[in-house]
Amino acid sequence: MRIRISWINQYMFCPYGFYLEHVLGLKPIKTQYLVTGTKIHAELQKKYLEEGWEVVDIKEALYRSQKNREIFKYRELQINASFPRWELTGKMDELWIYPDQVLIIEDKPGNQAYDGGKYQVMGYALALKHVYHPSIPIQIAVRNRDTQEIMWNEEFDQSREKDVSGILDEIYLVLSGEKIPAAKPSPKKCEHCGFREFCNRKYESRLPDSNRGPADFC
């Protein structure tokens, strides 16, 4: 079964919203958060292209970084990895290959790294490890997409591999119709959710305008 790695973030934000879109086929209303995110990603991609990084195959980059101590940077890098139960596919926001480590960065809005972003970048690390088997540690990080400050990072170890595999197993069960997931409603989430107009499990009380924060929760 094909699973987009970005779905991990969506699933952790609210599994029921994920179910509405990917199993029942409902279309979310596009929020300002999505529009802004697309624009910032495009700007970062433009900056990356202007920097003129050499783009080589990942296997070659891993080899050359070890042999010649070269550094490689990639943006919006496609990765596909086949496992017995799922085929993972997605684009890493940013990948760095250093002589002593691989660093995968996921850009998210706001000043706090939430589980959705952390697990999403774990998904990329799982796929990269499965395809390229790097002999150096894989570091994973969530960065503030506006300030470019790293908000969270750690090494992708066996415990994290198990954690993200558990979430992928859950997603697999939902997509295959074996499980209807629970909602994770909260005023702030539901207020910014693309399904709020027709979700029957949303948190009903609406926040007063003065208490609304940015859509920085995923």
Dist. CA 196–CA 28, nearest whole Å: 9
Stretch that binds ligand SF4, among 12-20, 85-93, 144-152, 155-163 (CB under 6 A): 12-20
Q: How far is the CB of 40 from ligand SF4 (least distance, A)?
A: 23
Phi and psi of 79, rounded to 5°?
A: -135, 140
Alpha carbon distances (Å) from 11 to 22, 59, 197, 209, 211: 10, 31, 19, 27, 25
Q: 158 or 200: whose CB is closer to ligand SF4?
A: 200
Structural element, H or E, at residue 104 = strand 102-108
Query: Counting contacts by CB under 6 A, is residue 193 touching ligand SF4?
Result: yes
Nearer to ligand SF4, 14 or 62 (CB): 14
145 contacts ligand SF4 (rule: CB under 6 A): no
Report which of 90, 79, 84, 108 is spatially closest to residue 3, judged by C-alpha positions. 90
Interface residue with ligand SF4 among 58, 171, 175, 183 (CB under 6 A) is 183
By the rule CB under 6 A, 199 interacts with ligand SF4: yes
The 3-state DSSP class for residue 88 equals strand
Q: Does 190 contact ligand SF4 by CB under 6 A?
A: yes
- In sequence order, the 6+-apart residues with CB closer than 8 A to the CB of 214 are 33, 109, 110
Q: From 149-157, 159-167, 198-206, 209-217, give the range in contact with ligand SF4 by CB under 6 A.
A: 198-206
Give me the DSSP letters along 16-56: HHHHHHHTS-PPPPPPHHHHHHHHHHHHHHHHHHHHT----
Q: How far is the CB of 8 from ligand SF4 (least distance, A)?
A: 16
14 binds ligand SF4 (CB under 6 A): yes
Cα(63)–Cα(95) distance, rounded to whole angstroms?
15
Q: Whole-number minimum distance, CB 199 to ligand SF4, in Å?
A: 3
Task: Output the smallest distance, CB 13 to ligand SF4, in A.
Answer: 7
137 or 213, CB closer to ligand SF4?
A: 213
Distance CA 184, CA 11 (A): 10
Binding-site ranges for ligand SF4 (CB under 6 A) = 14, 16-17, 183, 185, 189-190, 193, 195-196, 199, 201-202
